[in-house]
Structure 1
Amino acid sequence: MIEYRSQSFLESGLAHIRNSPADNGILEMIVTRPAKKARSTPHRCTLSSQGGVEGDHWAKGCWKSLPDGSPDPTVQVAIMNSRCLDLISASRSQWSLAGDNLIVDLDLSIHNLEPGQRLSIGTVILEITAVPHNGCASFKDRYGEEALKFISTKGGKELRLRGIYAKVIQD
């Protein structure tokens, strides 16, 4: 049985999330989604402008596509704050359920990372996109209604607690 966090518990962790580093974040986990509802947590992977995160289903098609049917690069890589995931999850083993590719200890807020800004991971450069990353029914099922409300508040959206999207601009 999944343990859901209470609203008061979630609110008690906001200060810790707000103290995420603004620069030089740490990549805590890599998650790929090889198929619907499937998750893999490799220790390393390749990111490319053509394939996104190696092993992830994005390149095979995703929820947002271009007019020609190809996957939209503006949602190529999903990134989420590890402190938020740690707060809403009963254990680290539940982090991958979010489905975000890169779990990072980094301030993802709108005040720290604007669309067009770039992040580097090794030699790869990612560009933050303007596509909002919102909670959905699956998120509610995995982390609970209180967690969905928590990330969906005005403050949660400013901090981008659900995460951000980026595209690979340099392999």
Structure 2
Amino acid sequence: MTDDPRLTLLKKSLQSAPYSGRVTSLCARKDDGIREYPDRIDIDVKEGVVGDRWIYKTWKHLENGYSDPRVQVAVCNSRILELLQKEKNNDYHPGDNIVVDHDLSKPDFEIGNCFRLGKVILQVSDVFNDACAKFAGEFGADVLKWINIPDFRNLNLRGIYCKTVQGGGVKIGDKLRVL
């Protein structure tokens, strides 16, 4: 599987992703399957993305019933998403709240590391994003296996989950800065 021709495209994509990338798109998940793509989202320390259904409806909950803050915000790399969309001839958006033109690989995006988008500060979660059934349904089981190859885990190919450290607004074009 590591001889997969997509690996060459992946390496080129990651090598060309800037270290000071920008937000390329935003998403708020309203109800199952309903998504809005605004030019700006607000992120709250307690709620995550304001208006996003994950505050009350996600797979990861605390004992008190509230959503787990470690998965408040989902972030993915635009180049990986575009690579998958092109390969599968599918414009599916997986619902990540923030899509960035930035390499999300470790060591910059290790568990616990923080980064800034506008005034917002997010912390990389210890919850690994191994993709959901909808993602596999849209891009295929082969892609799901491919992005979860153990040797690729440090690349965060499916993206990262984050906890909000400092809230504020994020808009398309905001610069991502690793802290």
TM-score (norm 1): 0.86
Q: Provide the rounded CA distance (Å) in 2 between the counterparts of 1:38 and 1:93.
A: 17
Contact 1:85 1:95 in 2 (8 A): no
Contact 1:86 1:92 in 2 (8 A): no
Q: 1:34 aligned to 2:35?
A: no
Structure 1 segments of 4+ aligned residues over 6 angstroms from their partners: none
Q: Which of residues 16, 29, 32 in structure 1 aligns to 2:12?
A: 16
Residue equivalent to 1:145: 141
Q: How many residues align?
A: 162
Identity %: 35
Q: CA deviation at 1:60?
A: 1.7
Q: CA deviation at 1:148?
A: 1.3
Residue equivalent to 1:3: none
SS at 1:156 equivalent:
helix
Residue equivalent to 2:128: 132
TM-score (norm 2): 0.83
Residue equivalent to 2:84: 88
SS at 2:123 equivalent:
strand
Unaligned runs of 5+ in 2: 168-179
Q: CA deviation at 1:15?
A: 1.7
Q: 1 or 2, which has the higher strand percentage?
A: 2
Residue equivalent to 2:50: 54
Contact 1:86 1:95 in 2 (8 A): no
Residue equivalent to 2:159: 163
Q: 1 or 2, which has the higher helix percentage?
A: 1
User: 2:122 is aligned with what amino acid?
Assistant: L
Q: Provide the rounded CA distance (Å) in 1 between the counterparts of 2:71 and 2:7.
A: 28
